[in-house]
Amino acid sequence: MKEKVFVGSADLYDERIYVDTRSGVGVDLVLNKIDPLLCKMASSTYMDGFGFQDIKQELAIIAIDGIRSYNPDKKVKMSTFLHIHLRNKLISKLRSENKMSN
């Protein structure tokens, strides 16, 4: 399987940020920029045995995976891509958790 890597500049809200997922450059800037989104999603999500910080950390891991998967050729801002990516992956995770509990 091909390793997911993103290297380049990406539009994040009203900024252009250089990101290199191989070295980690810029990933912290992206996570800081989307922190309000992560907090909002974490505060409105319930997962059995998880606290707010645990859920936020899970979302950050999903976001890092999304940064690696980002493709600027699709002509969409990284911020928009990450909003959709986080929502979809969180829904999948919650469905999986519910299936396991049933």
CB atoms inside a 10 Å sphere around CB 22: 10
In the three-class reduction of DSSP (H, G, I as helix; E, B as strand; rest coil), residue 84 is classed as helix
| pLDDT digits (tens), the chain, 102 positions | 667 899 999 999 999 999 999 999 999 999 999 999 999 999 999 988 899 999 999 999 999 999 999 999 999 999 999 999 999 999 999 998 877 665
Contact 26, 64 (CB under 8 A): no
This prediction has a pTM of 0.90
Ranges assigned E (strand) in 1-102: 7-12, 15-20
Q: Residues 28, 34, 38, 40: is their CA dihedral positive or negative?
A: positive
The answer to whether 77 touches 11, Cβ cutoff 8 Å, is yes
